[in-house]
Amino acid sequence: MQVLVLAGGLSAERDVSLRSGRRVADALRRERPEWEIVERDVDASLLPHLVEHRPDCVIPLLHGAAGEDGAMRDVLESLGIAFVGSGASASRLAFDKPNAKHVLAAAGILTPECVAMPQSTFRELGATSVLDAVVERLGLPLVVKPARGGSALGMSIVRRADEVPAAMVAAFAYADTVMLEAFIEGTEVAVGVFSRDEDLLALSAVEIVPENGVYDYAARYTAGTTTFYCPARLTDDIEESVQALALNAHLLLGLSHVSRTDAIVDADGQVWFLEVNVAPGMTETSLLPQALAEAEIGVGALFAELVDRVTA
Amino acid sequence: MSQGSRLDPWVDSYASRAHAMRASEIRALFAVASRPEVVSLAGGMPFVQALPVEMLTQTAVRVLTERGPVALQYGSGQGDVTLREQILEVVGEVGVTAHPDDIVVTTGSQMALDLVTRVFCDPGDVVLVESPSYVGALGVFRAYECDVIHVAMDDQGLVPVALSEAITRVRAAGKKVKLIYTIPSFHNPAGVTQGPQRRAEILAIAQREGIALLEDDPYGLLGFEGEPPRAIRADDAEGVIYLGSFSKTIASGLRVGWAIAPHGVREKLVLAAESAVLCPSNYAQLTVSEYLATQPWREQIKVFREVYRERRDALLESLQAYMPEGTTWTIPAGGFYSWLTLPTGLDATSMLPRAVAALVAYVPGTGFYVDGQGRQNLRLSYCYPEPDRIREGVRRLATVVEGELELVNTFGPSAMHQPVGSSVPAPDIR
């Protein structure tokens, strides 16, 4: 069995992806020493490599555009190569945060109200009047983030109206469309979901308490700057609700094999959907591996099981 | 109730200086900049491909076959004596005369910077640096918890009046100025060079005030016109500590540099070096020594000059051709770098993600300051990419700058200044 772990790419999350890829590849080598595990970056030589060597299975661990927007999965699908994770169209839908929220809201799932606009809208209509209208509708504080992308790159929490333009510029640095979302005060949690046989299972929620109050890039990837609780300090009822939310998000968006849903539990115990990740980070400080460890499931065991499944 | 985990059991054991060492978006972007699709005008990597590799291979083989037991053994903390004699020949090119005993060979001049700071500075001591200054030096000064203060530069480098005023101000605040750190020739990152008069004025201030002048001269032999600028150390053996390097004139991977220091300082540098690394690599030193003894090293430096001059020209021509109005840049007469100032209102740090997405990279100006200055600036390195790649990189960069100007028009100038994140430098920014 040859398994190709795809990591790296050209997105701003390249470094995170490389670390995720290395971790999964090492875990798989330990889990299945008889398998040939190949690690590959995405470049012009990838396609000829895939065509010539036709690996039995690909594990795309690319974060950010191309990795999560469905493009690479489209390529794998068209080559007829099996891969672990969601299909191209489901990935495309989930990666676009406003669209994913729309799908879930239509199914009755609570998600903070949001507005997403490209830069051209602000240019054509005038940023001040557009932003005034958005702030009036959504209120403050606001979360401003790229409509597509991860690792909190370009994300800001804005508490004053005069801070919104700078937050917009920071988000436009990473994407052409920016989402402004009502800020929900509460407990930040992440829930991993994976499929086993015919079942879809939710892991325990991981509660995130960043030292500086904001789970930004530094808080995500500097060990020691965020305290994680797994299981989260939630009542059993609320824990069930967040797990149900993650399972619903996974199903409603048509995702496969593994995903991670980020959510907020507010002071009233209401659970709000924020976003879902089709290629969850697998680094030393990432959330899904913590939840897997709590469930005593090895990273290698999970991915070996998924590889077995897609190649069966 | 579950126990919280911070995923690092040592987090409460780290020194306070380690708390600033954090993951940053800028470092994440530099991971992309290393990809071949990206034209990197960021890192200051010498173009080692211009070296005669065959001859270097023979040199390295000869060192191992003829002097293996010495090359592979520990050596003197001060460095190989033959190499120190040869270094005198090299620094003779910039007018420096000294005795081999005045030289301490180091693992690149970066280590010399570290040793000098270790020997001179207690936490809170002031080091005066240029505005902007070399990112690697700032990292060292901060590691020793120095109070780093920037002093103004103009197109002739460090401004003497500003230097005098800074010394007065610091002393009035009850602090000690321990070092004046300057890169007089082909400055990194500013790309400017101090003229002879300017050097004399700066030296006079250091002498009058009794402050050691730390002269960092890695690019001195890489001027594009005329003779190499005369080092400040050439005119004062007692007040100047001179740092040099073979990283740009031979190969950065060999990691051989040096300090030339007055007697008392040198004694301490040797002791500090021994405690840090015991001795510099004998193998690397003997390879450099053999190269200097057997190869036409002056001719090779001429080759490097030509390579870099051609690339400098490609950079300047394309900046002129593509950059929007309101962009300015320095015109380096040697070395690796030009310092670019963006049109009013633009922020080079917040522009970097867009630049990397457009497959061009640079170093934002804030990396060359300890105090958040430099937002409107960026450093462009022309040393590594081929001229055509430089032109393409500048063309891409110009498009990005145009895009930023559109953002200013849309959101207003006050929206363009983003908070400066961790400025711990990326390892590839030399």
Chain-wide mean pLDDT for chain B? 94
pLDDT at B418: 61
CATH 3.30.1490.20 residue spans of chain A:
114-182
Q: CB of A40 within 8 A of CB of B53?
A: no
**Is A77 tagged catalytic?**
no
Q: Kindly report the CATH number that applies to the domain delimited by A94-110+185-307.
A: 3.30.470.20
Residue ranges of the domains in chain B? Answer: 16-50+300-416, 73-294
B28 shares contact with chain A (CB less than 8 Å): yes
B5 shares contact with chain A (CB less than 8 Å): yes
Angle at B228 between CA B225 and CA B231, to 5 degrees: 145
User: In chain B, pLDDT over 90 holds for what percent of residues?
Assistant: 87
| Residue in B closest to A163 by C-alpha | B415
pLDDT digits (tens, 9 = 90+) for B68-97: 999 999 999 999 999 999 999 999 999 999
CATH 3.40.50.20 residue spans of chain A:
2-85
- Say how far apart CA B305 and CA B41 lie, in whole Å: 18
pLDDT at B1: 54
pLDDT digits (tens, 9 = 90+) for A153-170: 999 999 999 999 999 999
Q: Kindly report the CATH number that applies to the domain delimited by B16-50+300-416.
A: 3.90.1150.10
For residue B228, is the peptide bond before it cis, meaning its omega torsion is within 30 degrees of 0? no
Of A218, A227, A228, the CB nearest to B422: A218
Residue of A131, A156, A169, A180 to mutate when probing chain B, most B C-beta within 10 A: A169
The end-to-end CA distance of chain B, in Å, is 49
Task: Considering the domain delimited by A2-85, tell me its CATH architecture.
Answer: 3-Layer(aba) Sandwich (3.40)
pLDDT digits (tens, 9 = 90+) for A60-75: 999 877 677 888 999 9
A194 shares contact with chain B (CB less than 8 Å): no
Say what the pTM is. Answer: 0.92
Dihedral, CA atoms, B368, B369, B373, B374, nearest 10 degrees?
-10
CB atoms < 10 A from the CB of B170, how many? 17
Give how far Cα A213 sits from Cα of A51, A260, B261, Å.
47, 21, 49
* Structure tokens that stand for A312 in this block: 């069966």
CATH 3.30.470.20 residue spans of chain A:
94-110+185-307
pLDDT at B427: 38
Catalytic residue (one of A17, A204, A277, A286): A277
pLDDT at B16: 85
Of A173, A226, A233, the CB nearest to B350: A173
**Is A236 tagged catalytic?**
no
pLDDT at B24: 83
User: In chain B, pLDDT over 70 holds for what percent of residues?
Assistant: 96
The end-to-end CA distance of chain A, in Å, is 11
Q: Kindly report the CATH number that applies to the domain delimited by B73-294.
A: 3.40.640.10
Q: Which CATH class is domain A114-182?
A: alpha beta
Please state whether beta strands A2-6 and A36-40 pair in parallel, antiparallel, or not at all (unpaired): parallel
